[in-house]
A and B are shown apart, each in its own frame.
Chain A
Amino acid sequence: MKTKILLAILAVVMVGLIAVPWIASYFYIFIFTEILILGLFAASFNLVFGYTGMLSFGHAAFFGIGSYAMALVLIHLEWPFLVSLLASMGAAALLALVIGFFCVRLNEVYFAMLTLAFGMMVFAIAYQWRSVTNGSDGLAGFSLGSFGFGLDLTLGNPAVYYHVVLTIVAIASAVLYVICRSSFGMILRAIRQNPERVSFAGLNVRTYRLVAFVIAGAFAGLAGGLIAPFLRVASPELLHWSMSAEPILMAILGGTGYFLGPFAGAAVFVLLETWITSFTESWMLVLGIILALMVIFFRKGLLGTILDWWMEVKK
């Protein structure tokens, strides 16, 4: 019964999202595009953090390289959009394989510090390799060509691009969800709770962690590939460690225990940022206060708290 009601709510949200260009003001097309992309970024991060229990401070490296891959492919090769997205995913997955190879050997704070260090290295490369990445200015001024599949879509039209993003994010989320619910996902959860026990059961914890890290990196790269055409620029701030903090904040805001928690967190984050910056420039201060309150009083995040409360009431 409860599952049915939840599914119905999800369906209503989905219909609402599809209808955004017709029911909301034009500006909210941009807001929801950003929410969806950052939501996917945060959800990919949560596979590593919420499911496998590894706190990465370098997840923006994969998001950023995805955006640079997209920009470079669009500028130099002019591939169709969908193929370019695969290039973004591939580049990010490859980078995640290299970084993950070294990082998954370590635990807790050492893992966090090493991911941070690798993230900074990737940032430094993008910042200083001026001939390829255009340095601190980033890559801008690329044009969006065809979509691929022979579909005639004007990607420059924000409403069209929103629906493209919605479709891709929905498919990517479904795939991520299936991964999380599979036996593989169950083992990841077991690793979070007790890695020793998992290895005593005869499973190679390191390999599982590495695979999770690479999958998360690939989906972060996909999100990065979507953000570059949206922002019209791939710039070093997308790779900066402060960008790595955003999915952490979103996952905690929304709730790390539920698959859709990071999406809820991304929605709260972007909407609050938009509204609060209209009144004051000290949006980070307000965010800090909200986050502190969330961590102290609502440990399960917004979505987690609401869902738990609802489960209790309905008993």
Chain B
Amino acid sequence: MIKTSAKKILVAMTAAATIGAASTSYAEEPIRIGGIYILSGSAATYGEFAQRGINLAVDEINASGGVLGRKIEMEFEDSQGKASVAIQAARKLVYSSGVDALIGLDSSGVAQGLVPTMPELQKPLIITHAATPDATGKLCNSFTYRISVNVAQNMKAAALVASKLDATNWTTIGPDYAFGHQSWEFFGNYLKDIKPDVNLMSETNFPRFGAEDFTPFIDRVMDSDADGVLISVWGGDLVNFVRQANNRGFFDKDFELLFTVGAATEVLSALGDEMPEGVHLSTRYWYDAYDNAVNTHFVKAYIDAYGVPPSYNAEGAYAAIYAYKKAIEAAGNTDGAAIAKALSGMSLDAPNGTITFRKGDNQAMVSPNWGVSGPMNPEYGIRTLMDLQIFDGEEVARSVEETGCKL
């Protein structure tokens, strides 16, 4: 038993070594891309949906001749939502599996740890989900790009939504890590700018990521003077939160509620009609918000393959693979620095319109979507989004000077 598995490992290692050696000498070897996502635990559906988007793009590209005549091959690693695990995973993908580029990251905390190490790895990274402004701000570097909406962009949009509401006393419930804290910080600053008479309450609520029990925080908000709540809880946590909030009668109170990533289809599918009607939900991409050929094709292909509409995480991952295709073709080779350079300032027709990686900070100018939850969509078992607002990517973005990024 032990012998055979040892043998297998040896065979696998030899095979890996041979492939590794071969990849440098034959042009028809596949282009390898390494994906780092959360593949276990309460947010694992995000990793799974990203994989769906990636696989769709890879299959389409490989079926139509590949990139530079080479096929794309994916290799995935589980970040477990931990920075140290993700950094080791990136080293493994680059130095052991020999990937040409990296894509991924579901967590802001992971991004803050991994992004500063990218110049050492000398491979490009396209972030498809993690939203901390620092990744394309004070921690930015010439190898790191982001194709998804960041916290600053989305909170600018959130503040614009909130400024039109009656609420004056705002508080927050968010996960106790970079994402939750930065969401509140940016939201508060933008809202104060637009509407100086609002009161940002000092009692804030930051339950641990993966906390399971949110009732103490729900009760605290219900007992407070708040009339507006920014909720940046996400993933499996958000599903638990909404169920517990329903039990407590949280949604019967007259709060103005802003869910910063509430219209993730992962969450909407899990909740069905438990997601209340009439609350403000945001997403980085809503599948029927964009009327263009790329989106029509993407949504149809995705529904054909998986039976449900694509989530923003699937869309970001799908678009990132096409971004690499375009960049590698522009660079003419798979050298890490050359791909990264080709990405800078590059424009791409993605499902959410034509997007551009801004030259100054490598952040894609993409549009946050905000809407109000409406009646159920009977076909897919999720809430619809009414009064959909598609914010202009450039308008909600910080200026390059404000990001603190120096490239």
A residues 266-315 with Cβ under 8 Å of B?
274-275, 277-279, 281
Q: Tell me, in angstroms, the Cα distance from A293 to B178 when the chains sit together.
A: 42
Query: Which residue of A has the minimal Cβ distance to B89?
Result: A277
Q: Tell me, in angstroms, the Cα distance from A277 to B77 when the chains sit together.
A: 9
B residues 140-190 with Cβ under 8 Å of A?
176-178, 181
Query: Is the CB–CB distance between A30 and B91 below 8 Å?
Result: yes
Q: Tell me, in angstroms, the Cα distance from A34 to B181 when the chains sit together.
A: 32
Query: Is the CB–CB distance between B88 and A30 below 8 Å?
Result: yes
Query: With A136-B208, A235-B84 as given contacts, are A141 and B95 in contact (CB-CB < 8 Å)?
Result: no
Query: With A30-B95, A137-B108, A274-B92 as given contacts, are A232 and B78 in contact (CB-CB < 8 Å)?
Result: no
Query: Is the CB–CB distance between B82 and A137 below 8 Å?
Result: no
Separation in Å of the B34 CB from the closest CB of chain A? 13
Query: Is the CB–CB distance between B91 and A137 below 8 Å?
Result: no
Query: Is the CB–CB distance between B176 and A141 below 8 Å?
Result: no
B263 within 8 A of A: no
Q: Which residues of A contact B249 (CB under 8 A)?
A: none
Q: Tell me, in angstroms, the Cα distance from A66 to B91 when the chains sit together.
A: 24
Separation in Å of the B309 CB from the closest CB of chain A? 27
What sequence of 0s and 1s flags, for each residue 102-113 of chain B, a beta carbon within 8 Å of any chain A beta carbon? 000000110011
Query: Is the CB–CB distance between A141 and B17 below 8 Å?
Result: no
Separation in Å of the B244 CB from the closest CB of chain A? 21
Q: Tell me, in angstroms, the Cα distance from A30 to B84 when the chains sit together.
A: 13
Query: Is the CB–CB distance between B9 and A137 below 8 Å?
Result: no
Q: Which residues of A contact B281 (CB under 8 A)?
A: none
A145 within 8 A of B: no
Query: Is the CB–CB distance between B113 and A232 below 8 Å?
Result: yes
Q: Which residues of B contact A232 (CB under 8 A)?
A: 87, 113, 116-117
For this complex, into which size category does the number of interface residues on chain A fall?
20 to 34
B50 within 8 A of A: no
B40 within 8 A of A: yes
A130 within 8 A of B: yes
A80 within 8 A of B: no
Query: Is the CB–CB distance between A237 and B20 below 8 Å?
Result: no
The 8 Å CB contact of A27, one of B95, B177, B209, is: B95
A257 within 8 A of B: no
Query: With A136-B177, A140-B113 as given contacts, are A233 and B83 in contact (CB-CB < 8 Å)?
Result: yes
Most B-side CB within 10 Å, residue of A34, A136, A156, A281 = A136
B139 within 8 A of A: yes
Most A-side CB within 10 Å, residue of B40, B113, B117 = B113
The 8 Å CB contact of B82, one of A235, A274, A275, is: A235
What sequence of 0s and 1s flags, for each residue 133-164 of chain A, a beta carbon within 8 Å of any chain B beta carbon? 00111101100000000000000100000000
Separation in Å of the A16 CB from the closest CB of chain B? 17
A25 within 8 A of B: yes
Query: Is the CB–CB distance between A141 and B209 below 8 Å?
Result: no
Query: Which residue of B has the minimal Cβ distance to A143?
Result: B116
Q: Which residues of B contact A184 (CB under 8 A)?
A: none
Query: Is the CB–CB distance between B112 and A140 below 8 Å?
Result: yes
The 13 listed contacts between A and B (C-beta, < 8 Å) are A26-B95, A136-B109, A136-B177, A137-B83, A137-B113, A138-B84, A141-B112, A231-B84, A232-B87, A233-B113, A235-B82, A278-B12, A279-B12
Q: Show the binding face of B for A, using Cβ within 8 Å.
A: 9, 12-13, 17, 20, 39-40, 77-78, 82-84, 87-88, 91-92, 95-96, 108-109, 112-113, 116-117, 120, 139, 176-178, 181, 208-209
Q: Show the binding face of A for B, using Cβ within 8 Å.
A: 25-27, 30, 34, 127, 130, 135-138, 140-141, 156, 231-233, 235, 237-238, 274-275, 277-279, 281
